[in-house]
Amino acid sequence: MKALNRVVNWLNARGPFVFLTPCISVIGNCSEEILFGLIRARREGKKLVILYPFDLPWKFRFPLTNRELFDVVSPHRAEVPALPFFLARTALTAVFGFFRALSLILGKVLGQWAHLPGRFTHPTLGATTLWKPEEEPADFLWKVVESYDWTTEVQKPLTVGLRPEKLARAQALRREMGLPDGAWFAALHVREGGFYGDHQASACRNATIANYLPLIREITARGGWVARLGDKTMTPLPSMERVIDYPHTRFKSALMDMHLLSECRFYVGMSSGILDTAFLFQRPMLIANMTNMTFVYPRRPGDRGLPKHVFSNVKGRFLSLREVFESSWEAQHFHEIGDDYELVENSPEELRDAIVEFLDGLESGRTEPSPLQREANELRLRQGRRILDSVLFKPHYDDMHNRYRMASRLESALGSLSEDFVKANWERSARKAGPVGK
């Protein structure tokens, strides 16, 4: 598939279009690739063409993410005539459908080890040169990262939304759901393990919705509504005024997911996939219970973050924020947290204080960080650069792709951690008691 990717990259470099088949199976990666595809098209004066396969039956089915995401509109996206678009999608489906079938047969006959690598069975084309000029450069170079000027490119407003006819349909459903016209609302997502069935494997990425009740009440006390996002496996919310537990309603759909994310006044989320979808739609955001402070950071100047507390088993105590920022990649990459570290959720009081600061800044327009917040931002940037100076992944192909992608996140983020949280935890953690059982 590298050869096919090289053909697409050759066309992207020389033609009037940027062809992209984003990661179809993970909504966060898909949203991020569409965003940077649009940024590339804008930077080069081209139009983005998003191609994705048709669905297939039975076990050949592609694990497509939210299909409405592929249909977003932007001035930097091409409107492809129906017949060429159909033929291109048919060819894409035929190529990758064949390899999906072959992988299934090999796995059935020879065992799980014989399955083909994901690049054969999950179509991803055009993404390998979104963050670097070559598909597989020889080395990671900061001068290449700096040539893209990611801070300017990412912070520049980018119009992305739903098609007018779909927006009208979603607005009608929104009224029927109980969200009045003219009412402002926050979209809230608190990750649990039900969607992927990874309660244990990814427990450090999850959080408890009950801890967010004071945060929710702060929003509604200021006249807003809260639309909680997720899926039907989510723990139901108690009945609350101006709160819609959307996953447990009959209105749950791919279209309404995109509508709520694109039309909310702001987004409150975690280090999970739809964080990138909210950012694709340029929504202000508060990221709570963060599990990666270096590379999943508040993006825009007014955005705020609230990391989970990090307990070190070796030291027998919680680490200060400064210690966490100065830690190695193994400590930063909490999606695969090692035995030394345990993560503890933000308390209801921390969440409430963070939303107060965020809302006050949103209402006043004040986005300038305090001196201590600025110090944290600068330390994060320095440590992130040190981390990216070393090989992080194998093979070399994946290492180059991911380090350049992560560098764009590192360099472009201009938000800050919550000021009260930084003050309370900078030199010494405010948490005293260890995790349960410690």
pLDDT tens, residue by residue, 357-397:
999 999 999 899 999 999 999 999 999 999 999 999 889 99
Distance of CA 408 to the CA centre of its chain: 13
264: which 2 tokens?
A: 């909310």
Q: Which pLDDT score, from 0 to 100, does residue 296 have?
A: 93
Q: Which pLDDT score, from 0 to 100, does residue 48 have?
A: 98
Q: Which pLDDT score, from 0 to 100, does residue 194 have?
A: 59
Q: Which pLDDT score, from 0 to 100, does residue 334 have?
A: 61
Domain boundaries, the chain: 2-130, 164-425
What's at 124, amino acid-wise? T
Cα separation, 354 vs 326, in Å, equals 23
Q: Which pLDDT score, from 0 to 100, does residue 433 have?
A: 75
At 227, phi and psi to the nearest 5? -110, 110
Q: Which pLDDT score, from 0 to 100, does residue 201 have?
A: 47
- Whether 46 contacts 17, CB under 8 Å: yes
CB atoms within 10 A of CB 238: 10
Mean pLDDT over the full length of the chain: 92
- Whether 9 contacts 126, CB under 8 Å: yes
- pLDDT under 50 in the chain at which residues? 201
**For the whole model, what pTM was predicted?**
0.95
- Whether 266 contacts 284, CB under 8 Å: yes
Cα separation, 99 vs 121, in Å, equals 6
The SS3 assignment for 240 reads coil
Q: Which pLDDT score, from 0 to 100, does residue 197 have?
A: 60
CB atoms within 10 A of CB 264: 24
